[in-house]
Amino acid sequence: MALIEAKGVHVRFGDRVVLEEVDMSVLEKECHGIMGPNGAGKTTFFNVLTGRAKPTRGELFLDGENVAGLPPHRIARKGVARSFQIMTLFDEYTARDNVMVALPQFRDRGFDMRRAAAGDSHFKSEAEKVLADVGLADKADIRAKELPYGDRRALEIAVALAQKPRVLCLDEPTSGLGTDGVQRLLGLAQKLKGKLTMIVIEHDMSFLFSLADRISVLHWGQVVARGTPLQLQENPWVKRSNLGKFS
Amino acid sequence: MNGASPNSPDAARLITPTMLIVWLLLATIPLWISRIGLYPYLGIEILIWSIYALSFNLVLGTAGLPSFGHGAFFGIGAYAFGLCQFNVSSNLWICLVVTTLAAAFAGALAALFISHRRGIYYAFMTIAFGQIFWTIAIKSHSITGGEDGLLKIARLPADFGFVSFDLKSNVSFYYFVLAVFVVIVIALWRLTHSPYGRVLSAIRQSETRAAHLGYKVWFYKASVFAISTGLSGLAGGLFAMAQLAAFPDVMSLHQSGYIVMMTLVGGGLVSFWGPVVGVFTFLIARDVIGAMTSAWMLWFGLLFIVIVLFKPEGIAGAFRSIVDSAKAKARHAQGMSALRLLFRS
């Protein structure tokens, strides 16, 4: 059974239909890519998936439970973590503190007003482990806003990983990165692949085609093609559109 | 971040060296304040407003919530103290607890409506609630005394069972307020540096991210608002004791604006002590400039504009950058002397 199952998800903002009867299923531990031109509804689909937008109608099952329309914090607590296309970090916090706040153990103590957060070395070492996983071990003490762009992208993913998610949603993780940055990110993503369920929105086709198990193509709010990267290369729609131009 | 940087040793301390210095300095005020031409009552006002400003800054500085109606809760505290004293009990401790709870309850009620809002909408909602409470206070003549105020509030003795302190003189009351100030400073310092404080600060930096990390953001916003209004109410109760009365004026929009100005001028956004610095500056300016010209607010307003334009981090922020550049100079000087030593040998 699929871990995530979207059935007829429909989103309308005023008189604009952004997603139209989208069906999508993502298997457990699969890496599922979403591609499509700008304005196709990719990020809106993510927003529905993570509780940021409510679907006008339709159902969204996470492990058999309909989570459509739940607020973000409840969906996050069910193990869905996301990164943002426009980076959303705690800029004044150090890299370590960004990750620390994201730890579920820290969240469980969120209403603790009596103890000093700094006194807890357990959180610190947990956070440092996650930073090491994304290659930021030596940058733990640098404030997020002072990190170079590529490191900020990595920190976005570290913050999501710190949640120990079952489902990791990455919204254009390579956006703004140079070729080195993309390679580094690809290495990281391939390391994660198979360990958890990943859904990746991406414009960089070669990145997505070398990473994803299956890909759904969104256009004008509808799924116009789906399949493995190999199948999609032969898909007439993808071939016709400029999306098919991958190296 | 307002407070010690999360990784400095002070962040984990219950009592910091700065606190001890501040408390000691404050404890000496009654000994010399009359000699410099001021008066002990000013000391009481400064301490009460400092408690109020620190509580307010929990919302503005730590959680980043623009509340422009906090005066209402300060006023509710003042009325609650008087009403409790007249109708419930003449025990100081009971009245102060009732005062805090009454203001926290009113704050929680407002918070239920405003905590799903952000930015300018949040600010407007706090103004609206402030105005509602202020209007109620003025119109409920039979309960609050309307514009005449609630008069004849007594300074109840501080009874510890085995010993009881009379607080009627300004000096003894000053030390009582100082004791409350000490407790509030310790509590707020710890709260700011606790996991709860970290989450609030994270929410200030990005509500969206905090929500997607699983934090129930509106509940954090509501809870900190209730805590802040409760403590503001406590300050209001002390103010009623100081004035021997409670007036609706403190609940008005322009008085709510004062606390915002004090906090920002002092540097509440970058420093735990900023609000206290702001209160000192504001009240001393009021008395010193006010003795020279009745248009003292004009000059303070200009100071406010200058600070916002040139040093948005406030006085505490300016002080911090002076200390930092002095440290950098010292390091530079050390480096130079090390170089000289190298070249000499």
Q: Which two tokens stand for residue B329?
A: 């100079």
Nearest to A118 among B11, B211, B223 (CB): B11
Contact yes or no for B208 and A84 at CB 8 A: yes
What's the rounded Cα separation, in Å, for the pair A220 and A65? Answer: 28
Residues A63, A182, single domain; the answer is yes
Q: Which amino acid is at A138?
A: D
What's the pLDDT band for A227 if we cut at 50, 70, 90?
Answer: very high
pLDDT mean over A62-66: 94
A244 & A173 share domain? yes
Domain total in chain A: 2
Count the neighbouring beta carbons within 10 Å of the beta carbon of residue A38. Answer: 7
Contact B101, B230 (CB under 8 A): yes
For residues A144 and A170, membership in a common domain is answered with: no
Q: Is the pLDDT of residue A119 over 80?
A: no
Determine how β-strand A57-62 pairs with β-strand A4-13.
Answer: antiparallel
Number of domains in chain B: 1
- The string of pLDDT tens digits covering residues A2-35 is 899 999 999 999 889 999 999 999 999 999 999 9
Please count the residues of chain A: 247
The residue of chain A with its CA nearest to that of B188 is: A113
Confidence of residue A244 (pLDDT cuts 50, 70, 90): very low
Report the candidate in B155, B149, B181 with the shortest Cα–Cα distance to residue B49.
B181
**Strand-pair partners of A19:** A11
User: Does residue A17 lie within any of the structural domains?
Assistant: yes
The answer to whether the beta carbons of residues B100 and B276 sit under 8 Å apart is: no
Q: How high is the pLDDT of residue B6? A: 63
A82 touches chain B (CB under 8 A): yes
Q: Do B193 and A110 touch (CB under 8 A)?
A: no
Q: Kindly determine whether residue A117 and residue B202, on different chains, have CB atoms separated by under 8 Å.
A: no
Q: Is residue A6 domain-shared with residue A128, that is, in the same domain?
A: no
- Of the three residues A122, A142, A164, the one that is the final residue of a domain is A164
Domain co-membership, A146 together with A179: no
Among residues A24, A91, A62, A59, which one has the least CA distance to residue A225? A24
Which residues, 6+ apart, have CB-to-CB distance to B214 below 8 Å?
A: A73, A76, A77, A104, A107, A163
Residue B180 lies in a domain: yes
Cross-chain residue pair A109–B195, CB shorter than 8 Å: yes
Determine how many CB atoms are found less than 10 A away from the CB of residue B326.
Answer: 10
Domain shared by A157 and A169, yes or no:
no
Above 50 in pLDDT, residue A247?
Answer: no
Residue B257 is assigned to a structural domain of this protein: no
- Are residue A160 and residue A174 in the same domain, yes or no? no
> Would you say B202 and A126 are in contact if contact means Cβ atoms under 8 Å apart?
no
Tokens of A215: 């890909």
Q: How far apart are CA B246 and CA B264, in angstroms?
A: 26
**Would residue B110 count as lying in a domain?**
yes
User: Do residues A97 and A148 share a domain?
Assistant: yes
Cβ-Cβ contacts under 8 Å for B163 (sequence gap 6 or more): none
For residue A70, give Cα distances in angstroms to A11, A50, A78, B221, B279: 15, 8, 11, 19, 44
**C-alpha distance from A237 to closest chain B C-alpha (Å):** 35
Q: Is B194 within 8 Å of A117 when comparing Cβ atoms?
A: yes
End position of a domain, from candidates A164, A183, A206: A164
What phi and psi, each to the nearest 5 degrees, are found at residue A69? 85, 0
Residues A154 and A230 in one domain: no
Residue B251 has what pLDDT? Answer: 96
Residue type, B28: T
Residue A85 forms part of a structural domain: no
Counted across chains A and B, CB pairs separated by less than 8 A come out at 108
Its domain, for residue B210, covers 9-251
Query: CB–CB of A116 and B223 under 8 A?
Result: no
Cβ distance of B195 and A163 shorter than 8 Å:
no
CB of A101 within 8 Å of a chain B CB? The answer is: yes
Q: Are residues A57 and A171 in the same domain?
A: yes
pLDDT at A245 over 70: no
Q: Nearest 5°: phi and psi at A59?
A: -125, 150
User: What b/e sequence results for B11-20 when a residue is b if at least 16 CB atoms lie within 10 Å of its CB, and e otherwise?
Assistant: bbbeebeebe
Dihedral (CA of A46, A49, A51, A55) sign: positive
Query: Is A86 a member of any domain?
Result: no
Rounded Cα–Cα distance for residues B285 and B300 (Å): 7
Q: What is the chain B residue with the closest CA to A78?
A: B214
**Residues of chain B neighbouring A104 (CB-CB closer than 8 A):** 214
Strand, helix or coil at A35? strand
The whole-number pLDDT of residue B60 equals 96
- Kindly give the confidence (pLDDT) of every residue in chain B, 345 residues in length, as a single tens digit, with 9 standing for 90 and above: 565 566 677 888 899 999 999 999 999 999 999 998 889 999 999 999 999 999 999 999 999 999 999 999 999 999 999 999 999 999 999 999 999 999 999 999 999 999 999 999 999 999 999 999 999 999 999 999 989 999 999 999 999 988 899 999 999 999 999 999 999 999 999 999 999 999 999 999 999 999 999 999 999 999 999 999 999 999 999 999 999 999 999 999 999 999 999 999 999 899 999 999 999 999 999 999 888 988 888 988 898 899 889 888 899 888 888 888 888 888 888 877 777 776 765
**A240 and A177 in a common domain:** yes
Instruction: Give pairs for A119-123: CB < 8 Å, separation 24+.
Output: A119/B12
Measured between CB atoms, does B198 come within 8 Å of chain A? yes
Cβ contact A89–B206 (<8 Å): yes
Chain-chain contact of B194 with A115 (C-beta, under 8 angstroms)? yes
Residues pairing with A20 in the sheet: none
Q: How far apart are CA A125 and CA A169, in angstroms?
A: 25
How many CA atoms lie within 13 Å of B196's alpha carbon, on the beta-carbon side?
20
Residue A92 has pLDDT above 90, yes or no: yes
Let me know if residue A130 belongs to a domain.
yes
Residue A75 lies in a domain: yes
Nearest to A116 among B1, B12, B215 (CB): B12
**pLDDT at residue number B37:** 86
Q: How far does the CA of residue A158 sit from the closest CA of chain B (Å)?
A: 12
Question: What's the token pair of residue B129?
Answer: 């609630």
Q: In terms of residue numbers, what domain contains A185? A: 1-79+165-247
Pick the last residue of a domain from A119, A144, A164: A164
B223 close contact with A: CB closer than 8 A: yes
User: What span, in angstroms and rounded, lies between the C-alpha atoms of A200 and A33?
Assistant: 5
Gap between the Cα atoms of B76 and B68, Å rounded: 15
Within this chain, do residues A141 and A172 fall inside the same structural domain, yes or no? no
Q: For the domain that residue A10 is a member of, what is the CATH number? A: 3.40.50.300
A141 phi, psi to nearest 5 deg: -95, 5
Is residue B198 included in any domain, yes or no? yes
Give the sign of the dihedral formed by CA B233, CA B238, CA B241, CA B247: negative
pLDDT of residue A116: 85
3-state secondary structure of A102: helix
